[in-house]
Amino acid sequence: MVKVGIIGGSGLDDPNILKDAKEISVETPYGPPTSVPVCGSIEGVDVAIIARHGKDHSIYPTKVNFRANIWALKEQGCTHILASTAVGSLREEIAPGHLVFPDQFIDHTRKREVTFFDENTVVHTPMAEPFCQDLIELLSLSAESLNVPYHKNKTVITIEGPRFSTKAESHMFRSWNADIINMSTVPEVILAREKKLHYAAIAMSTDYDCWHEEEEPVTWEMIVEVMKENADHVIKLFTDVIPKIKEYSDICVQ
């Protein structure tokens, strides 16, 4: 049975996209998730939504309880996760408003709990292909059908935050072959893989970080404005791709 978890970033955790939405309280060994999961359905497919930074966006990146969020979605029976996130672009061709479906990450965080296996049992999880390629392909097909500009199979670098990069750091990340930058994909994708969940990020480019000399340095206000302007694209993508996830999974099972 397919159930899709949505981890919503800025403006993309709206329970109104669900039919028959209701809150389901969940207790986890890691404390409470950052919001009470809201469960319902999209186009007949069961869905659960968690707001990554809290419903009032009051939780800064390092304090997000990533383990509780992933554990709660797994406990609710989720098999797949679509995680929306705002990102800065490190490449000219990834313009603000474009969507990106990364297939690799670079971890530049320092203070986060990055595994479920930190007591009693040591498990070394393969991480060569951290994102679900099948989901990336389905997202790409949906974006194409909706005429939404997108890029796939790119590398995201996750920094600690909450500050933005210096110009020196931004140029360094470009030299590392990172394509986009955010503060939330790690350890979320790692934990999802440990729980054997199919995970894909729907990253929305909001700015050119600070490497781009012809653009103003990024501000939070700039990010929010672009997210508001383009949130409909992501919501349409959710609505279009979620039934395809179930259809594809049903075919694969047969």
Instruction: Round to whole Å and give the CA distance between 116 and 102.
Output: 23
DSSP-derived 3-state class of residue 84: strand
CA end-to-end distance (rounded Å), the chain: 13
- Which two structure tokens, joined as six digits, stand for 18? 């669900």
Three-state DSSP state, 204: strand
Q: Which pLDDT value is given to residue 252?
A: 60
Asked whether the predicted pLDDT for residue 31 surpasses 50, the reply is yes
In angstroms, rounded to a whole number, what is the distance separating the alpha carbons of residues 251 and 185?
A: 29
Check if the beta carbon of residue 166 is closer than 8 Å to that of residue 115. Answer: no
| Residue 14: per-residue pLDDT | 62
- Residue 20 is a catalytic residue: no
pTM for the whole structure: 0.93
Give the domain ranges of the chain: 3-114+124-253
pLDDT level of residue 13 (50, 70, 90 thresholds): low
* pLDDT single digits (tens) 83-119: 999 999 999 999 999 999 999 999 999 999 999 999 8
The DSSP 8-state label assigned to residue 131 in this structure reads: S
pLDDT at 254 over 50: no
- Res. 233 pLDDT band, cuts 50 70 90: confident
Q: So what's the pLDDT on residue 57?
A: 84
Burial call 118-135: b when 16+ CB within 10 Å, e when fewer: eeeeeeeeeeeebbbeeb
7-21, 51-65, 211-225, range with greatest mean pLDDT: 51-65
Among residues 13, 46, 179, 207, the one annotated as catalytic is 207
Say which of 46, 179, 209, 240 is annotated catalytic. Answer: 209
Question: Where is average pLDDT lowest: 36-40, 233-237, 242-246?
Answer: 233-237
Average pLDDT, the chain: 91
Q: Is 107 a catalytic residue?
A: no
The superfamily (CATH) of domain 3-114+124-253 is Nucleoside phosphorylase domain (3.40.50.1580)
